[in-house]
Structure 1
Amino acid sequence: MDIENSKISESLGLTSQQFGILLGIYKLESEGKTASPREINKEYSRTHGKGIQRSNFFSQMKVLQDRGLIKRGRRASYTVEFENIRNILSGKRENLQRELEEFDKISARTEEYFRKIAFESTRPVVHYMEHDELYRRIVKALKGCERVYASIDFPTIAYTYALADGINRKSYLEMIWDRCFKKERLEVNYLTPLDIDLPFNHAFRVYGDPKMAYKECSIVIEQLENQVDSHDKLDVRYLKKPHGMDVLIPEDKEPLEFFLFTRDEHKDIVGGIHMRSPETALSAKNSFMRDFEYAEQVKGEKGKAIIKNLRKE
């Protein structure tokens, strides 16, 4: 597949095989031929040198049909739905525009953090840590604080022990469950877009089976709903597009330190920066609270609606 075709298929969220089927249907249509499953697979074979196994072929056709990219007509003939394709690409463009706007906001706040660091009276102590060291330091911070504020794609507090253990965060989960749920001495505040892709990717990495990953996500969602309903010390707020950076801020009487997470191309945390700086930690908390105060609380009727939508994803 050439670069241009690759970009189009990527924008539509299609595999190279699905895109090849789509092109085959279009070619048959253009030549005035009937785009039946048999002819589509034959066209794919002519283009790629090999046809698609029958069961797999119909699975891919169903994906294209469910996505609204093709339509089944009379005599089992298929057509390409260009209007839906244009709508999908237009939606991608709008999403990219919003992401660019968010990136500008993040960049502006990053400069603010650096400016405060450079000129604050107490020199900050900054360390970069890999994933495991970072979470060991977070666990240590959680032992003695009264509150924690975290901006994250999905709350790890809702993970199962098996899933947390599989991604090397079991100690973090045990600490936060113990102090927030059992001893009720830690107030946990999450700001999150509830991106279910994150726990799904984690579960798929741990179990290697999409069905098991899907089942694990169902458990995680149910667990999150039960936790917010049962524990007053847990406050989860939903915001579709949180501003700023992913942070975790432990606080006793006042914030003295905070953590900035770094991610890979799959949005997974691979490490982060631990910064001990009272002034910058307070600035990070204030930035967090600006979004937190107007975000939707995942509790009550609104919370049930948010969870219901999450189950549909």
Structure 2
Amino acid sequence: MSKPVVLLACDFSARFKALLAERYTLIGPLARSAADALPPGAEQAAALITKGGLPTDAALLAALPGLGIISFFGTGYEGVDLTAAAAQGVTVTHSPGANAASVADFAMGLVLASARQIVAADRFVREGRWGGNSLVSMPAVPGLTGTRLGLYGYGAIGEKVAARAAAFDMEIAYHSRSPKAGVPYLYKDSPLALADWADIFVVAVRADASNRHTVNRALLAALGPQGHVINVARGSMVDSEALAEALEQGTIAGAALDVVDGEPQVPDCLLKAPNLILTPHIAYASTSARDAQEDRVLANLVAFFAGQPVPNPVPV
């Protein structure tokens, strides 16, 4: 019996491709996640493996008539047209929680890097500016103890960021669709109210059409001149022009983005903005998290092709 054909929308690790190749015939990765970028033989694909930020629209689905399952590497699945997938009878899965610890670690790293100006301090030393006999070479900034950290999103990642922030003796509040039972932190009823309360605003919410550019001029103004924005969710959550303007004008003190709207292209306004740390969407990319996500994708595929319920379905 021939192996089922699996289409890769993007490239993955050698480990994952080797595991997949034991069970499936692999095609891809695609140059673009689009119907007109499909390679020969793609129409035979029974499965598509992709990631949340890539488009999986109705046209792409229609060009894959044999498709039975879409499996997302990672928690997010905002790129898929769920209505079209349901109409075509395609099962959609993801890998929730597998990277939560890795992303939370990175988020706290960005909090420290931005609030304590670690990257700027490194640059200060490398530029030969460390001299004189001043007690402090660079201007002092607030420490984390007692600083207010606002979490926009309190899922698996938000919960772990809160635990890490608590270890730094930070005050914590959060906003989600509704208050979470048993959570000991202050709940704010809107992102704007959360920003008005917070010193550091961490974006850790699932992206969808309803929360695009939540971090806008009004929210940044509410955060204020001592505030920092940290984004480890999706680039679409932050209005890039508004953020660059806020940094240039001193509306906020700093920001750190692991994700950018339209990535991997980064708008010039962000590249030129002061007090901004940029990283290339790597918060999830520890080896342990990567392996866990790959294993979760593989488990969904194995169950699907065995005719069993998939362990991590996305409701369609």
Q: TM-score, with normalisation over the residues of structure 2?
A: 0.29
Q: Output the TM-score relative to the length of structure 1.
A: 0.29
